[in-house]
Amino acid sequence: MLQDIAMGLLTSNVAAVTGTQRLIVDIAMYFGLFVIVAMALNFQYGNAGIPNMGCAVQVIVGGFTVSALTTRLIFTMVEGAGIELQPWAKDFDWVYNNPANVDITNDYIATNSMFGWSMLLFSLAMAVILGAVIGWVISLPAIRLRATYLMIVLITMADAAQIFGRNIPAISGGTLGMFIPNIFEWYPGDRTVLTAVITLLIGLVSFFIFRTMLNSPYGRLMRAIRENEVTVGSVGKNVVGIRRNILMFASGVTALSGTLLAFYFSFVVEANYQRAFWTYWPWLMLILGGPGNNAGTFLGCALITAMRRVIIVNKWFLQSVFFFPVAYFEAVLLGVLLILVIMFRPNGLIPEKLLYIPGVNYTVMVQEEVEIDWRGTTQVKRGFSSGIQGIFNVLGGKGDKEEED
């Protein structure tokens, strides 16, 4: 049955993707997007202790990359191919001639699949670069701040990014938004299906990249900074530089989600990149799954994404149950779940595990106690009970000679 649904999705046209198939596509798309964002957030907070409350900044940069850069590049290349477009250089023309120019451009892309793929790769590459630049910019005033002040600065930057997009039409059409060319116009099926598949693949790749980095020497250094940055700095490590690099790398990866979302809708408007959606929900996924554990974050993404889709599908039923508008239910649920998880499951469904270090046996290290003989002999006693007894002997002033007697 699942195989039939998958084949139907890949070979169907736009009109045929409805009902259950549309629900599956939406779940897959948003699951892939949230995996990218939540994994990057876990990389920053769960492993390095950087509370990034500005995830929406990086996501919106990815969306603006498509609307402000990729769309202009596509229009320029289409005109270079001898196809006439309506004026689009000025802000007024850019917004009000946008639908007509996109239709003309889509006709060109329909016969040039390689052009569409190249624009996708260009957009993803530029999103990573610009996201990393934004990560570097926000690190300048915020990297030396304590956690509370750092969170305030990043939240402010997220709101500022939306204000820029709302008031500068050249970025994304202002409050009206703007259409973007369908780079998958050549695909005979529904573009959203292909976009969802690509997003899932990128999400899985990001999961394995962050997992590999966690078990690397750099990952152990990140956790050391999280636990005690003063100690790490005292051994000659550049804590500020390391935290800046973490922000830049994670911001670049997070920006990919904004680019993929823009191609999914073929439309960009700043209202699609709200702080509550792209910051608070990923935080809930991280806390629910388990900070510092990639598998837990992955599980949290799956549970929350499925739950939100179920709520959307059943919103008319829920409206008859609640005494308040169902539009507010997600916000209420977000706050309630955060409180419940923090109160009853602060370490998440899958708590953080010890790092894997080749040749290190954590069990032996925990059971091993070092007893110092003040007469110049250092002895290592293995076993929990012997280690505890040795501590009491030292504290009680007993030496080896008294033990022998």
- 335 and 391 within one domain: no
Structural domain that includes position 369: 362-404
C-alpha 21/C-alpha 167 separation (Å) is 37
Assess if residue 173 is contained within a domain.
Answer: yes
Q: Of 275 and 72, which is predicted with more confidence?
A: 72
Mean pLDDT of the chain: 83
Residue 350 included in any domain: no
CA 400 to chain centre: 57
Q: Rounded to 5 degrees, what are φ and ψ at 372?
A: -100, 125
Q: How far apart, in whole angstroms, are the C-alpha atoms of residue 224 and residue 216?
A: 13
Pair 340, 367 in one domain = no
Task: Count the Cβ atoms, other than its own, within 10 Å of residue 402.
Answer: 10
pLDDT of residue 85: 93
Q: Is there a single domain that holds both residue 374 and residue 338?
A: no
Identify the pLDDT of residue 6: 45
The answer to whether residue 352 sits within a structural domain is no
pLDDT in tens, 280-292: 999 999 999 999 8
- The DSSP code for 123 is H
Q: Are residues 372 and 279 in the same domain?
A: no
Distance between CA atoms of 378 and 224, rounded to whole angstroms? Answer: 28
- Let me know if residue 81 belongs to a domain: yes
The one-letter amino acid at 176: L
From 344, 378, 396, the end of a domain falls on 344
From 312, 344, 376, give the residue that closes a domain: 344
- Whether 377 is in a domain gets the answer yes
Q: Could you give the 3-state DSSP secondary structure of residue 151?
A: helix
pLDDT of residue 146: 72
- Could you tell me the maximum CA-CA distance found in the chain, to the nearest angstrom? 102
313 and 394 inside one domain: no
* Mean per-residue pLDDT, 125-154: 84
Same domain, 232 and 139: yes
What tens digit of pLDDT does each residue of 167-226 get?
Answer: 999 999 988 899 999 999 999 888 899 999 999 999 999 999 998 888 888 888 898 888
Structure-block tokens of residue 30: 């948003």
Whether residue 385 has pLDDT greater than 70: no
Structural domains counted in the chain: 2
Same domain (yes/no): 372, 226: no
The verdict on 48 and 8 lying in the same domain is yes
Check residue 401 and give its pLDDT. 45
Q: How many CB atoms lie within 10 A of CB 291?
A: 23
